[in-house]
Structures are given as C-alpha cells and as structure tokens.
A and B are shown apart, each in its own frame.
Chain A
C-alpha cells in the first residue's frame, strides 16, 4: 500500500501524517508514506484544499483532518472496496 500525505507542511498536514501512522499501526498494516510538499505535484491530484490523503493513487481525504478512527475506516475501505 502506498500512502501520500499532501501538504506544504502546516500544522494540519503534520497532524494528518501523525494520525495516519497511528491508524496504520493500530490496523497492523505496513505501507510506505510519502510526503508531497511541492505545490506543482499537490495540484496534479486535483485537490483544492490541503491537507490531502492519497491511498494507492486515489484521493480519499481533502481539506480536513479526520480522527484516527475515521482514518482507520478509510484505510480499511480502500483495501476492501464496498460492494
């Protein structure tokens, strides 16, 4: 699983990264986490609000920082797409 945290480094993006790491640990999933800080790359994902979370190429969060619980749910649904 490849996760990207999109954001230039403000408080929100750091919190998002921290909570994502926590969520992954709680779910016992290993994933590579990349931080994308360059605006040119961030905007190639089509988001207009930071921070953003991308799992395996798909934007799953933009513009706010979900709780660790919510992030766990998001990670899980990206593994098993809902029918």
Chain B
C-alpha cells in the first residue's frame, strides 16, 4: 500500500481534493450547529459573535492556507534563484524591473537568503534597481496573503493586492536604479569572486515536486498556524466587541492622515502574511477603508525591521533608508488611490 502511494503521489493528491472541498463547504453549517445548537449561545451578543467568528474562521483559513501553500510549493519547484538570475542577466532596465518583480513572487525566498541572493545577483552584473525590484516583490507579494484575501474578500481584492504590489516593486526598483546608489552598497560586495560553481538542481520528477509541496505545508502551516489563531482571536474580539464604524474615525477615508499613519505603524511591525489578514478583515468590518487597510497590510509584510537589520550587512544606511522610504511612499500613494476610487 505504501509502495502504491509512493509511486502515485499525484493521484493521491488529486483524490484528496474532494475531501477538502467537502470540509470547506461544511464549515458554515457546522459552525452554526456548534454555536447555536450545541453550545446554545444567545444570538446577537458580543461574545457569541466573537466566538462564531473564531470557530468559523480558524478552520476556514487553515484549509485555504494548506491548499495554497501546497500548490505554490509545487509551482516554486519550477523556479530557482539561479534560473531567475540567468533570466535577468542583460535585460534592459525597465524590462528587468518588471521581470524581477514577477519572478520575485514565485522564486523561493526566505529572509535569511536575502543576502546570498543579493550577492549572487550583484555578482552576475544585474543592475541594483532590478535587484531591488526582486527584493521588494518577494516578501510583499505573498501567495499566502493573496489567497487569504481571495478567500475572505473575493478575487477583486486579491487581484488589487497583487497588482499594486507589482506596481510598487517595479517603480520603486526603477527609481532606486535611477538614483544611482551603487556607491551605498558595502564595498566588499563588489569584490566577491565566486570560486565555485554551485551544484545545479536535484532531479525533478513530479513525485519530488509533491514532496516539496508537502514540505512547504509542514514548514509554513507548521510555523504560521499559531499566528493565524492569534490573529483570528484578535479579529474575533474586534468583530464582536468593537462597534461598527469605530475604525472609520481612525482608518476611514475621510481622515486624510489615515493612510500615512497606517503605513508608519505598519513599518516597524512584522507579521507573516497569514497572521495579519484576519486583523485586516476585522478592521475592514469596522469601517476602515480598503485603501488604508491594504496600505497597513503591505507595510507590515513588505517592510520589516528584521529584514533591514539583515540588509545592513551589505547595504549602507543611506540605501536602506532610501529603500524603505521609497517603498513606504509607494504604499501610501496606492492607499490614497484606493481610498479615492472606492
């Protein structure tokens, strides 16, 4: 039996899908039954609403997350920093910014690899601005966030998030390139000579790809589930107890400073994409406008203090400040545009 599964992982994976769908659609009726029949909680009470929110959202978000992380884990096996680097070599500036941003979304990237990756790109002669487009897109446009937005708010919001993220990554990278800030990269970076050619990728049978998908689930969901539960608990509290339109005063569109303020608050905060979305959902439910909420989310996940501390090893402070400033400005502009349009 185990042999059978080993050889036909794809089929097993496909067969699990109907089970997932079944679970997903039963969530609402199940939650209703638990909250109102099993626990007999009184309707329309703050606590009931908060509990309902929590019981419904936690399994729903975890299910969505598992599916997407698996799918993206598999997609990622088709990409590697080496392939991305070869694809970007020699490309003219603006095209390079666009490609780098798109590739940033799908190339496997963890923040501790930010430096080796940066060094590898510089060494291959990829322009600084193009490298930055990649570095901006990779953490800010997160597939986990996109799917959660899709699951909680619909495809338009998810698309909005991805496209504005891309626009910011492309333009910020381009601007940084135009500023000719190469002299703010630490000198030793340009002196590196790689002595060895790194080993190329492992065999890419589809079974291996599925293994990677499962690794990704264990890795991401394993690390993130607790933040999701915390985020949803906070969201549940806001949902149940904070009066409607409470947020409209601080984060609504009529308050002109809500966008820059949210971004300022978001920059030093660091959360993985999964944990912040339930909070965003709760804020939106209480009158925060879409632009402000999105700006807040993007500044939390796109600009992180830990990442900048890591980058300090290869970049001088002026370049880090420019990077943070330009990206923050981009996010603020996007926030205003959406408040205006919606």
* Chain A residues near B (Cβ < 8 Å): 7-8, 10, 12-13, 39-40, 42-50, 57-64
Contacts and interface: CB of A to CB of B under 8 A. Distances in A.
Interface string B100-116: 00000000101011011
B196 A46 contact: yes
Contacts of B269: none
B199 A58 contact: yes
Contact of B198 (A10, A46, A57, A64): A46
Nearest to A44: B195
Contacts of A8: 112, 115
B119 A49 contact: no
A60 B192 contact: no
A64 B110 CA distance: 11
A59 B80 CA distance: 16
Contact of A58 (B116, B196, B215): B196
A39 B199 contact: no
5 contacts: A39-B313, A45-B195, A45-B198, A47-B198, A62-B199
B60 interface: no
A48 B113 contact: yes
A14 B198 CA distance: 21
A42 B112 CA distance: 12
A12 B112 contact: yes
Contacts of A59: 196, 198-199
Interface in B250-305: none
Contacts of B119: 39, 43, 48
B192 A43 contact: yes
Given A43-B120, A63-B113, 5 more contacts: A40-B188, A46-B197, A48-B81, A49-B117, A59-B199
Given A40-B188, A58-B199, A46 B112 contact: no
Interface of B: 80-82, 85, 108, 110, 112-113, 115-117, 119-121, 123, 188, 192-199, 215, 313-314
Q: Lowest 10 A-B CB distances belong to which pairs?
A: A46-B194, A48-B120, A48-B81, A43-B119, A10-B112, A46-B198, A49-B113, A48-B117, A47-B198, A39-B115
Contact of A47 (B116, B192, B313): B116
B236 to A, nearest CB: 30
Contacts of B314: 39
B273 to A, nearest CB: 19
B186 to A, nearest CB: 9
Contacts of B117: 48-49
Nearest to B314: A39
Contacts of B113: 48-50, 63
Contacts of B80: 63
B6 to A, nearest CB: 15
B224 to A, nearest CB: 14
A46 B108 contact: no
A41 to B, nearest CB: 10
B194 A45 contact: yes
Contact of B112 (A43, A50, A60): A50
A60 B81 CA distance: 16
Contacts of B110: 12, 49
Contacts of A13: 112
B58 to A, nearest CB: 25
